[in-house]
């Protein structure tokens, strides 16, 4: 199919973008800033999905400008029939202008709204585009979304490969920061490479002089292998790829010995974090195929399997590509196409049933794992029923060791989860009782990464945390109550044990209440590492670098005290340095890359020792303030 300017459909102008950028990119902070890169990259990916592009390159320049280039067909440069401008200028300056509305050029695409690159242009103080088509390279420049130069030929040479290069600089008047994160960009590009097998994506950061290449010929099967690093697998990955009409469905799955499910869903390369019809169809097909196999082979006996039973230890990637996807909002986090549910359910059931009949060992290992899970679920239900009969999870008072605050508005309240009785005592005495609650915990809680449900809910410390926070573990309607505090702050000693306890708590929230992290409720307090005394004045340093700066400024030697535990500070000092909203340092825990988070939690907290040893050896050079 020829791609010409007449294929570009014009819907409306872009005047509102600079006034309300959050409507188009989510926010004007870190997330929105990086969204600019991904909007431009999506255009290259769309070219790859229709077979015209196999290389994409992203460069983060030292001036925080970004270059994205590909070897696709190149944006049309001929005159648009109604706009009387070159096609590339229409695409760059007109909202809802693109070749993705009538499916003549793109059967499927991620940038369905047609606002992508025009929004990037509008939110950049300058943008330059180069298009190579037919042996000629064309150039045009824009400032704040408006054209500043005519389209002109800057190079002409036979044999020049077609392609598009977009070079832009985010407008610092719009964004809170224009500092790009190499890791965040790399994570999304890696994900796109998994979803588009055979596509080479390269990333270069001129700041750090580092680069990465992403090329996965195995596609989402390699994605499964990546996600399951460090886990004990039960069988080789199962993979299906089916096309029906304009719908393309890819599914890969593998069971491990883990206690959690790990499912990633995508629609037209967009990570649908809230799932949707493809996820519902997959779950239904999976449960039906496993239950049918177990019944046909007389394995269930008196057990009734639930959907949750069939997904414990499961890692799966579901990727669908459809011509008319229905997303919920511009953020595209949930797929709504009802017809996709039936297709995915049917394919999953038929192919997985066939797979189990042909692979007896994989079926046996999987069913054995699921039956164990079902029995554990029954035991966990009995344990929870027992605690309810004792009044723990219903109308019982809060945990006895919780020192609550007087404020009852969760938006104004915060909970400190503090390691040890000594630090807990100091925190209780030093806190602002109006809005700060304290929950001391006894040392190292249960590692939920290695524990079954019945053991998790039998843990007194974990039940206390669940009760105190009001977190929803998804168990029953009674627990689905609003949080009691919008800030849940982990406060531990700055030593090895403190770091371990902090990791155990983060694992608990990641596995049992991941929504708390996604919604920004989890924080880590950063107590000072040093107290520098000069005369009657005391200064505090929160890092070795800060200590050096303070010492260098003093005209003579100070007395330096290194804190090893929170309990070494008196209540007033603990509040002033670590809990006072005017002075404290809190680090908000975010979930920017769920796949990488899953991998790291498995490596650090899982059952396999070797991947953990390799991780420690690789990252030991980055450790600071190690006290052994």
70 is catalytic: no
Rg (CA), the chain: 28
Would you put residue 84 in left (φ > 0), alpha (ψ -120 to 50) or beta? left
Whether the CB-CB separation of 196 and 48 falls below 8 Å is answered with: yes
Q: How far apart (Å, rounded) are the C-alpha atoms in residues 131 and 71?
A: 10
Instruction: Establish whether 552 is a catalytic residue.
Output: no
Annotation marks residue 246 as catalytic: no
**Cα-flanking dihedrals φ and ψ of residue 136, to 5°?**
-125, 140
Structural contact between residues 14 and 94, judged by C-beta atoms closer than 8 angstroms: yes
The catalytic position among 248, 419, 449, 573 is: 419
Do residues 217 and 197 make contact, with C-beta atoms less than 8 angstroms apart?
A: yes
Residue 91's closest CA among 52, 51, 65, 119? 119
Place of tokens 């689905």: 480
- Cα→Cα distances 628→135, 496, 622, 624, 625, Å: 64, 7, 16, 12, 10
CA 477 – CA 401 distance, rounded (Å): 26
Point out the catalytic residue in the list 497, 546, 568, 580: 497
Indicate the DSSP class of residue 597: H
- Assign residue 387 a region: left if phi > 0, alpha if psi is -120 to 50, beta otherwise? alpha
Say how far apart CA 584 and CA 581 lie, in whole Å.
6
Name the phi and psi angles at 541, rounded to 5: -120, 135
Assigned token pair, 419: 């390691």
Tokens of residue 86, six digits: 């070159």
Catalytic residue among 461, 493, 573, 598: 493
Answer for the pair 383, 285: CB distance below 8 angstroms, yes or no: no
Find out whether 100 and 109 touch, Cβ atoms under 8 Å. Answer: yes
Nearest to 92 by CA among 69, 61, 120, 130: 120
Residues 6+ apart with CB under 8 A from 478: 393, 394
**Contact status, residue 169 vs residue 124, Cβ threshold 8 Å:** yes
Whether 46 sits among the annotated catalytic residues: the reply is no
Pairing of strands 314-321, 262-267: parallel
DSSP conformational letter for 86: B
Residue 101: CB partners within 8 Å, gap ≥ 6? 9, 11, 114
Q: Which phi and psi (to 5°) does residue 301 adopt?
A: 55, -120
Q: Which residue has the tokens 């003093």?
A: 554
**Strand partners of residue 164:** 70, 131
Of 479, 495, 592, 596, the active-site residue reads 495
Could you tell me which residues are beta bridge partners of residue 321? Answer: 248
d(CA 479, CA 481): 6
Structural tokens at position 107: 């059967």
Distance in angstroms (rounded) separating the CA atoms of residues 56 and 48: 9
Report the catalytic residues. 419, 493, 495, 497
């Amino acid at each position: 199919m020829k791609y010409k300017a007449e294929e570009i459909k014009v819907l409306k102008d872009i005047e509102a973008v600079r006034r309300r950028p959050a409507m188009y990119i989510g926010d004007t902070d870190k997330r929105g800033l990086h969204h600019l890169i991904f909007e431009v990259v999506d255009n290259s990916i769309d070219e790859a999905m229709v077979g015209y592009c196999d290389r994409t390159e992203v460069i983060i320049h030292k001036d925080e400008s970004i270059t994205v280039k590909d070897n696709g067909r190149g944006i049309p440069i001929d005159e648009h029939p109604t706009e009387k401008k070159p096609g590339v200028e229409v695409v760059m300056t007109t909202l809802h202008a693109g070749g993705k509305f009538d499916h003549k050029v793109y059967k499927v695409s991620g940038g369905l709204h047609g606002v992508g690159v025009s929004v990037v242009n509008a939110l950049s103080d300058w943008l330059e585009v180069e298009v190579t088509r037919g042996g000629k390279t064309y150039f045009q420049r824009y400032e704040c979304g408006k054209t500043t130069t005519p389209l002109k030929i800057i190079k002409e040479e036979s044999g020049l490969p077609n392609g598009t290069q977009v070079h832009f600089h985010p407008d610092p008047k719009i964004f809170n920061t224009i500092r790009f994160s190499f890791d965040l960009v790399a994570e999304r590009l890696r994900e796109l490479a998994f979803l588009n097998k055979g596509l080479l994506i390269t990333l270069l950061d001129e700041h750090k002089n580092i680069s990465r290449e992403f090329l996965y010929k195995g596609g989402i099967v390699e994605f499964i292998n990546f996600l399951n690093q460090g886990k004990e697998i039960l069988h080789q990955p199962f993979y299906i790829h089916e096309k029906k009409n304009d719908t393309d469905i890819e599914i890969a799955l593998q069971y491990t010995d883990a206690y959690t499910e790990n499912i990633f869903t995508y629609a037209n390369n967009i990570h649908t974090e809230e799932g949707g019809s493809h996820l519902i169809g997959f779950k239904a097909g999976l449960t039906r195929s496993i239950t049918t196999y177990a019944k046909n082979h007389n394995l269930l006996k008196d057990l009734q399997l639930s959907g949750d039973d069939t997904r414990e230890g499961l890692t799966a990637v579901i990727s669908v590509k459809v011509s008319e996807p229905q997303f919920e909002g511009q953020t595209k986090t949930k797929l709504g196409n009802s017809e996709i549910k039936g297709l995915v359910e049917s394919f999953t059931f038929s192919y997985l049933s066939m797979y189990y009949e042909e692979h007896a060992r994989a079926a046996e290992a999987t069913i054995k794992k699921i039956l164990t899970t079902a029995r554990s679920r029954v035991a966990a239900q009995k344990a929870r029923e027992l605690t309810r009969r004792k009044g723990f999870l219903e109308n019982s008072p809060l945990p006895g060791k919780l020192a609550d605050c007087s404020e009852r508005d969760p938006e104004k309240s915060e909970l400190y989860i503090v390691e040890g009785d000594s630090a807990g005592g100091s925190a209780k005495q030093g806190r602002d009782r109006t809005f700060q609650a304290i929950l001391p915990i006894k040392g190292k809680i249960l590692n939920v990464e290695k524990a079954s449900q019945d053991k998790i809910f039998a843990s007194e410390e974990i039940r206390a945390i669940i009760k105190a926070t009001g977190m929803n573990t998804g168990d029953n309607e009674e627990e689905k109550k609003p949080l009691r505090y919008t800030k849940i702050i982990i406060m531990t000693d700055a030593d090895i044990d403190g770091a371990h306890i902090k990791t155990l708590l983060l694992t608990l929230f990641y596995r049992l209440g991941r929504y708390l992290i996604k919604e920004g409720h989890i924080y880590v307090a950063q107590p000072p590492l040093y107290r520098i005394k000069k005369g009657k004045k005391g200064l505090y340093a929160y890092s070795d670098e800060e200590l050096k700066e303070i010492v260098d400024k003093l005209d003579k030697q100070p007395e330096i005290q290194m804190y090893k535990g929170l309990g070494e500070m008196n209540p007033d000092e603990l509040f002033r340095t670590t809990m006072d909203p005017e002075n404290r340092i809190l680090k908000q825990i975010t979930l920017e890359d769920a796949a990488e988070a899953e991998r790291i939690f498995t490596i650090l907290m899982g059952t396999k020792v070797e991947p953990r040893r390799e991780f420690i050896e690789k990252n030991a050079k980055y450790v600071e303030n190690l006290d052994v």
